[in-house]
């Protein structure tokens, strides 16, 4: 059973360091009012790239971390900055690109082959280049393809150094391919003639995890309220709310808290 804390003026809030995909997709707009109504706890979200969110949390600038780069999350816990990590939900990454498809990858389910074709054809590719979870995933995929795109930075490979929405805006504007999480793409309003060109590869799986920032590292962390939020996210009610979030009839995130958390 969830604890409901008594209202305490302006102190009954927590800070969640999270990603642009959870914020920009609109997921938090659904989850947080439900949680606050049930518990009286306000959640204030700092939405940045996963790498920056982890740095912020490691510095004690937050109570809960909710991001999507499992190796980095596990290191965060192993280094003593987090109490424990749990799976929350997943979706997947896709590559979107212009309708004229200069690299000839439309319909592919092999992301490594598709990246190789983009590199060989020198078709424009817009990378977030910001150490986010999406950027980390992109770099792992380039490595799997045996390609170091940074060698071509500034030519066909463009490092935007910005969030997912800004990168998609730039990518659609320059007719470039972009790796994006599906939720942000569905919610994105400036698609132009871009469409999903690559999807369905198991290597595009995108897992999200949640971690309580360790109060032993940062005594000011609101551990009780933060844990209440985590417990709600992992509960049947929180998981159902995640599953119920849709845009244009499409489910954006798939809860999996009970499918093997770590």
Count of structural domains, the chain = 2
pLDDT above 60 (res 262):
no
Whether residue 96 sits in one domain with residue 86: no
Q: Per the domain annotation, does 2 fall within a domain?
A: no
Q: How confident is the model at residue 9 (pLDDT cuts 50, 70, 90)?
A: very low
Whether residue 161 sits in one domain with residue 67: no
Whether residue 112 sits in one domain with residue 186: yes
Q: What is the mean pLDDT of residues 67-83?
A: 97
Q: How confident is the model at residue 2 (pLDDT cuts 50, 70, 90)?
A: low
Say if residue 80 is exposed, middle or buried (CB neighbours under 10 Å; 0-12, 13-18, 19+). exposed
Residue 17 backbone phi and psi in degrees, to 5: -85, 120
**Res 73: pLDDT:** 97
Q: Per the domain annotation, does 170 fall within a domain?
A: yes
Whether residue 117 sits in one domain with residue 151: yes
Residues counted in the chain: 262
Nearest to 226 by CA among 37, 2, 16, 32: 16
Whether residue 46 sits in one domain with residue 58: yes
Whether residue 105 sits in one domain with residue 156: yes
Q: Where in the sequence is the domain holding 232, given as residue range(s)?
A: 13-90+208-255
Q: How confident is the model at residue 45 (pLDDT cuts 50, 70, 90)?
A: very high
Q: What is the mean pLDDT of residues 29-54?
A: 96
**Res 152: pLDDT:** 96
**Whether the Cβ atoms of residue 86 and residue 169 lie closer than 8 Å to each other:** no
Q: How confident is the model at residue 149 (pLDDT cuts 50, 70, 90)?
A: very high
Q: How confident is the model at residue 7 (pLDDT cuts 50, 70, 90)?
A: very low
Question: Which CATH number characterizes residue 249's domain?
Answer: 3.40.190.10
pTM over 0.95: no
């Amino acid at each position: 059973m969830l604890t409901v804390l008594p209202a305490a003026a302006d102190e009954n809030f927590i800070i969640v360091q999270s990603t642009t995909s959870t914020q920009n997709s609109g997921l938090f707009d659904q989850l947080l009012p439900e949680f606050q109504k049930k518990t009286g706890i306000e959640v204030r979200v700092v939405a940045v790239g996963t790498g920056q969110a982890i740095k912020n949390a490691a510095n004690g600038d937050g109570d809960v971390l909710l991001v999507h780069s499992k190796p980095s999350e596990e290191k965060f816990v192993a280094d003593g900055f987090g109490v424990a990590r749990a799976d929350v939900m997943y979706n997947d990454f896709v590559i979107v690109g212009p309708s004229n498809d200069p690299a000839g990858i439309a319909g592919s389910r092999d992301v490594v082959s598709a990246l190789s074709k983009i590199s060989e054809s020198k078709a424009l590719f817009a990378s977030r280049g910001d150490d986010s979870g999406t950027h980390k995933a992109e770099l792992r995929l380039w490595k799997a393809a045996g390609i170091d795109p940074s060698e071509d930075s500034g030519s066909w490979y463009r490092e935007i150094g910005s969030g997912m929405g800004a990168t998609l805006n730039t990518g659609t504007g320059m007719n470039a391919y972009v790796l994006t999480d599906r939720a942000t793409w569905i919610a994105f309003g400036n698609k132009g003639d871009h469409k999903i060109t690559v999807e369905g590869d198991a290597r595009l799986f995108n897992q999200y995890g949640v971690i309580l920032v360790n109060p032993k590292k940062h005594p000011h962390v609101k551990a009780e309220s933060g844990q209440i939020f985590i417990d709600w996210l992992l509960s049947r009610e929180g998981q159902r709310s995640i599953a119920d979030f849709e845009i244009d009839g499409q489910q954006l995130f798939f809860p999996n808290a009970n499918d093997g958390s770590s």
